[in-house]
Structure 1
Amino acid sequence: MPRDPISRPLAALAARLPQRLRTGYWTRLVPALAALAALTHAPSFVRPVWSPDEGYLATQARMLADGGVLYDTVVDRKPPLLPWLYEAAFWVFGSLSLWPLRVLAIVAHLATALLLASVARGRWGDRAGAAAGALYLLVSIGLSPEDTQAATFEVFMLPAMVAAFRYAERRRWLAAGVATAVCALTKQTGGAVLLPVLWMLLQDARHRGVRRPAALGRVLAGFALPVALVAVILTKPGGFLFWVVTGSGDYASFDGSVLLMAGRALGNAAILAAAFLGLAVPLLRRRRALRRAAPGASAPPRRGAAGGSVSDLWVFLASAVVAVCTGFHFFGHYYLQLMPPLVLLGVGAASASAVRWRPVLVYSAVAATAFWGLALAWPGHRLDRSAKVATAVAEQTGPGDTMLVWGMHPEMYWLADRRPATRYLTAGFLTNYSGGKGDRQVGEAYSVQDAWKTFDQELSRNLPEIVVDDSGTSPYSPVRIPRIERLLDAHYQMVGLTGDTVIYRLVRR
């Protein structure tokens, strides 16, 4: 027994803890996974901002803190949970840094890993559970660093997504519906997890004679009530319906460059495949073995899997594929939604095939190390330019001045610490330009409904002190958007140039 007066009570308290709590499975696994989550995402702290989405959320949070109203004077095509989380973090820690959100993102990854470990342990045993948690954290950085190290929608959506699957697996249908709602209120495509939830409900009813209408009612009630609470009470119903559901038709369309979309889709899929190769090998071997086996020759499924097979995992993966393809943008961070079902399928295949874990873990660790090093060395020229422009704007303006960024990089508002002159933080709302889908259907005529009318009203009350033209040679450059060209010609003069980004200042007459 230690003689130190401080350590003696602690040692006595530890001795009174139950044996399973001191040496149990989760007591040993949680700290190990927490350390791995912190290690794999440590590079997230080396940059002030990783992506325009982070910049958009940070700017939104400041606008909300200044009295803005979500889906009215503060708008986006995303659900409200993550903007509110950013706002809360800024309220507690201040808005000068995103480090609190990066910490919360690590917590979200850890929660996802633990939920995957719980699913895998229930199906294939303790070792598979630990492997699922560790492998998820290793492959969670297996895309471009801008997609995996940023604190954005998909990262915070994943815990609720896996929780919905886990609750359905345990036949806790009301909780599965609530988790699905939380997922969809973080990002709309998170609602795709409702497909495997309903599949497991159908299989459970078929095999166990469960009353299907009652269980279905609990799922739908669990999903509908939180969404109704947010839409009707916590936000404006009309604004929520338009911005979250009906107002994204032009944005989420197939109109655009097919070659560009196909190239992005295949490129990000190839990067993800490289990160998952350690798990892909046992999965392919397992599929090949099942094809060769006679019908009914495979081993019976373990208890705990709703429906008694891994079909629910394949439906889980199919729902994620549908979510990634929705909108036809195929950005890298969309592919994060594929990671949980892929990890479960790979771990299940390795467990069922008696594959040695060491090669799988070694490859995944080596791949993660490569992506980790890539994150530290990532050039980020575009974001570096945004920082330079923001610094120049801050030097030429005062805290009470407003600015307009005509482009797709709203992080400039947050980096410059200047208020936006309009609720439309990117030119996409006013031109239908959507992140590289080409120049088809881009222009004033394709704006969000009544956006130009609202924009003109906002600027008529107070012209911004600074306009940053970040459009370059894009389809929405001022020479192609007459209203912006007239605005610049009538009221502004050029005062700075960084790359092809032009800074204009208001001319006082």
Structure 2
Amino acid sequence: MLAVPLVPTRSVTTRTAFWGRLLPVLAALACLTRIPSFVRPLWNPDEGYLAVQARLLAEGGRLYETVVDRKPPLLPWLYEAVFAVCGQGSLAPLRALAVLAQLLTAVLLASLARRRWGDRAGRTAGVLYLLVSVGLNPEDAQAATFEVFILPCTAAAVWCADRGRWGAAGAAVAAAFLTKQTGGAVLLPVVWLLHRQGAARAGAGRLAAGFAVPVLGAALATDPAGFLFWTVTGSAAYASFTGSEFHALVRATANTAILAGAATGLLMPIARARRIARGGSADLWLWLASSAVAVCLGFHFFGHYYLQLTAPLALLATEALQILPAQRCVSAVLTSACCCTLFLTWGLLAPRPELLHVQRIASALEQRTAPSDRVLVWGIHPETYWLADRMPATRYLTAGLLTNYSGGRDGTQVGEKYAVAGTWPVFRREMGAHRPALVVDDSRGKPYAPGRVPGLRRLLAAGYEEVGTVDGAVLYARVPGE
């Protein structure tokens, strides 16, 4: 007679009860903390860039050939897929996916904490993460852009490595990298876990294969040479610290202070516990350190870069609270909830003058051009194309790719000679092949103004005339007969 294995019903029941109670709480909290993301059509230029890329891809564009950016392909593909299903007129479906991304991240962190320290730790980690996840300028924390979608991938990588699932861990690292290059920083704690578990010989091959197969697949699905250039080798000038030292340091200080304020409820127990005990999870500290390095890469220190710090901070705080009195946990949650409320209020009430500026320009483009016309917006707001429902005359959606300008960089390394290699010959060919019906100079005194960019100045002189201004931007229309 065959023996029938006993099912550990108590374990299954306990697990079901734990998640049955926690999941609704985390889902409600994820929705609550993302409410501000739905109150504006756009939060930052990255959202606009992705929306325009998605439209170009839907029209037959080819990524890293006729549709270009310095980013990997997963998020442009996601935007394209969502637009195909839900239409191109709103980013609300992407914002809903961002809610799901944050919820998935919280669930993975709760599962990690529960496995290591018990049920209470699982609940604490999930809640603390969602409370701190909006602790930046709302245009950084509420936008449906790269870092928000990196987070579940990085959490999944550590979750899989913690359980010795090395192929899946490698695939999760690849997903993070293919969302944004800095997502690959999570490989460091994953490799540490591989070493700590003594699985280097058996697991290294699976980890490497899990990472390599998706990355090679993405390269082959696009243009391999273009993929390598635009995601790895073609951004040396952009990543330089020279020419923006003061602005970069000011931005780094400001964004570090903002996140530190938002994470007060997490940082206090971490500091307190470190004075009591010198132990701790080395993989979590490596995760935090590698994320900090990712924030620093490129020397721009934009606020959304700091989102990568929130997941390891939530777990480190949860670990610290295990050796502190119980009231410390209540204090950490209440402090984080108060900070979260302040940031949600900021997101709901703070004015967005740059969005109003872009909307005025988009309205002018709609009035002065036909839907079939191509236009050129010389600036750093690619969302103008999307809001105006007009196709760009060039694959280079911002002046930054043609001048190396980015927010905060001063004029010492801005100009044609600092552009991404090979862009100006392509730009000139595109301007000759389909001349824009309207050119918008939205430089407004910035270092990439036409007076400092001979290539654009020649374009305007060869058949365009000034026809008006909109909120500081100058409009140029083609001279009849030219």
User: Is the TM value for this pair above 0.5?
Assistant: yes
Q: Distance in 1 between matches of 2:40 and 2:379?
A: 21
Equivalenced residues, count? 470
Counterpart check, 1:246 vs 2:239: no
Contact residue 463 and residue 478 of structure 2 kept, 8 A: yes
State which of 319, 332, 340 in structure 1 corresponds to 2:303: 332
- Structure 1 residue 434: deviation in Å? 2.4
Q: Distance in 1 between matches of 2:122 and 2:473?
A: 50
Please give the root-mean-square deviation of Cα atoms over the aligned residues, in Å: 1.4
State which of 354, 364, 368 in structure 2 corresponds to 1:396: 368
Q: TM-score, normalised by structure 1?
A: 0.90
**Residue 219 of structure 2 corresponds to which residue in structure 1?**
231
- Structure 1 residue 67: deviation in Å? 0.5
State which of 309, 312, 318 in structure 2 corresponds to 1:341: 312
Correspondence 1:120-269 to 2 at 5 A: 120-205=113-198, 210=199, 212-232=200-220, 234-269=221-256
Q: Distance in 2 between matches of 1:88 and 1:451?
A: 28
Contact residue 282 and residue 355 of structure 1 kept, 8 A: no
Counterpart check, 1:486 vs 2:458: yes
Q: Distance in 2 between matches of 1:322 and 1:142?
A: 20
**Residue 498 of structure 1 corresponds to which residue in structure 2?**
470
Q: Distance in 2 between matches of 1:21 and 1:51?
A: 43
The one-letter amino acid paired with 1:220 is: A
Q: Give me the identity figure in percent.
A: 57
Contact residue 284 and residue 315 of structure 2 kept, 8 A: yes
Counterpart check, 1:411 vs 2:383: yes
State which of 244, 267, 277 in structure 2 corresponds to 1:280: 267
Contact residue 364 and residue 470 of structure 2 kept, 8 A: no
State which of 384, 387, 399 in structure 1 corresponds to 2:359: 387
Encode CA deviations 1:422-476: one digit per residue, 9 max, x unaligned. Answer: 0000011111112222222211111112111000111101210111111111111
State which of 57, 66, 73 in structure 2 corresponds to 1:73: 66
- Structure 1 residue 23: deviation in Å? 6.2
Q: What secondary structure sits across from 1:252 in the alignment?
A: coil
Q: TM-score, normalised by structure 2?
A: 0.95
Q: What secondary structure sits across from 2:136 in the alignment?
A: coil
**Residue 458 of structure 1 corresponds to which residue in structure 2?**
430
Q: Distance in 1 between matches of 2:53 and 2:216?
A: 23
Q: Which moved more, 1:45-54 or 1:250-259?
A: 250-259
Encode CA deviations 1:185-205: one digit per residue, 9 max, x unaligned. Answer: 000000010011111111221
Counterpart check, 1:109 vs 2:107: no
The one-letter amino acid paired with 1:126 is: D
Q: Distance in 1 between matches of 2:78 and 2:171?
A: 18
Contact residue 21 and residue 27 of structure 1 kept, 8 A: no
Q: Distance in 2 between matches of 1:143 and 1:448?
A: 30
**Unmatched 5+ stretches in structure 2:** 1-10
Q: Distance in 2 between matches of 1:443 and 1:105?
A: 36
- Structure 1 residue 374: deviation in Å? 0.4
- Structure 1 residue 490: deviation in Å? 2.6
The one-letter amino acid paired with 1:151 is: A
Q: Distance in 2 between matches of 1:271 and 1:397?
A: 42
**Residue 5 of structure 2 corresponds to which residue in structure 1?**
none
Q: Distance in 1 between matches of 2:70 and 2:326?
A: 44
**Residue 376 of structure 1 corresponds to which residue in structure 2?**
348
**Unmatched 5+ stretches in structure 1:** 1-17, 292-297, 299-308
State which of 398, 403, 421 in structure 2 corresponds to 1:431: 403
Q: Distance in 2 between matches of 1:106 and 1:360?
A: 23
Q: Distance in 2 between matches of 1:495 and 1:379?
A: 30
**Residue 294 of structure 1 corresponds to which residue in structure 2?**
none
- Structure 1 residue 354: deviation in Å? 3.0
Encode CA deviations 1:242-291: one digit per residue, 9 max, x unaligned. Answer: 11111111111222221211111111000000111011111111111125
Encode CA deviations 1:66-97: one digit per residue, 9 max, x unaligned. Answer: 00000000000000000000000000010011
Q: What secondary structure sits across from 1:463 in the alignment?
A: coil
**Residue 87 of structure 2 corresponds to which residue in structure 1?**
94
